[in-house]
Chains A and B, each alone.
Chain A
Amino acid sequence: AQKITQTQPGMFVQEKEAVTLDCTYDTSDPSYGLFWYKQPSSGEMIFLIYQGSYDQQNATEGRYSLNFQKARKSANLVISASQLGDSAMYFCAMREMNRDDKIIFGKGTRLHILP
């Protein structure tokens, strides 16, 4: 069964608009962490934002925020005021405390920012 589901294979968004990338996850572990990574065309994996399962508030990092809805098991990434440089693949990932600690990735969403 899929642990991390990203339902949007690709998205096109106008520059300066906000964009939401969807991510749902599946775990029975009460302690886990959720991550978003960006992979530009150059190929490196860039860490964007982290949300712990016990965190009371949604994580924010600059223009990135994570809309964490624990009961719905969703961890959507919101990018405000999108820029052309945001065009990339975005991966949602999870790490479970009581599993063997590996990070599991979703299949990714390719985001295209239009000028």
Chain B
Amino acid sequence: NAGVMQNPRHLVRRRGQEARLRCSPMKGHSHVYWYRQLPEEGLKFMVYLQKENIIDESGMPKERFSAEFPKEGPSILRIQQVVRGDSAAYFCASSPGGGRLIEAFFGQGTRLTVV
């Protein structure tokens, strides 16, 4: 009965490298959300995906950031050419969707540090 799985838990990248964050939703969940949390701040919505579709990416920076949720496999949040300001905790949440207003279940987060 695995919950939302995110990996890696910690990721260190040098400036200019690429960061790939993975999120496997709970079994049966078809909706995935990515959030970013800067130190001592709340969670900021980035992107909402369903299988093979981006539903809302209004919180995603226009450049360097992309997300996908393929038919098979985990959702991936990709940050190209990372900069120091990308250092944050990135959380993934999943829910069954279908208009049901139940809670979204969060993963443990990936803590990205850009050096």
Q: Chain A residues in contact with chain B, CB under 8 A?
A: 31-33, 35, 37, 43-45, 47, 50, 52, 91, 95, 97, 100-108
Contact = CB atoms under 8 A, between A and B. Distances in A.
Interface stretch (B14-22, B63-71, B74-82, B95-103): B95-103
Contact of A106 (B42, B93, B106): B42
Contacts of B103: 33, 35, 47, 50
Name the 4 nearest CB pairs between A and B, nearest first.
A33-B101, A45-B106, A107-B42, A105-B43
A43 B109 contact: yes
6 contacts: A37-B106, A43-B109, A100-B48, A100-B55, A101-B95, A102-B33
Contact of B105 (A33, A47, A91): A47
A102 B48 contact: yes
Nearest to B111: A43
Interface residues of B, number: 26
A45 B96 CA distance: 18
Nearest to A52: B101
Residue of B43, B93, B97, B111 ringed by the most chain A CB atoms within 10 A: B43
Interface of B: 31, 33, 35, 41-45, 48, 55-56, 89, 91, 93, 95, 97, 99, 101-106, 108-109, 111
A91 B45 CA distance: 14
A103 B93 contact: yes
Contacts of B35: 105
Question: Could you say which of A50, A95, A103 has the most chain B C-beta atoms within 10 Å of its C-beta?
Answer: A103
Given A43-B111, A100-B55, A103-B93, A31 B101 contact: yes
Given A102-B56, A103-B45, A104-B45, A44 B106 contact: yes
Nearest to B31: A101
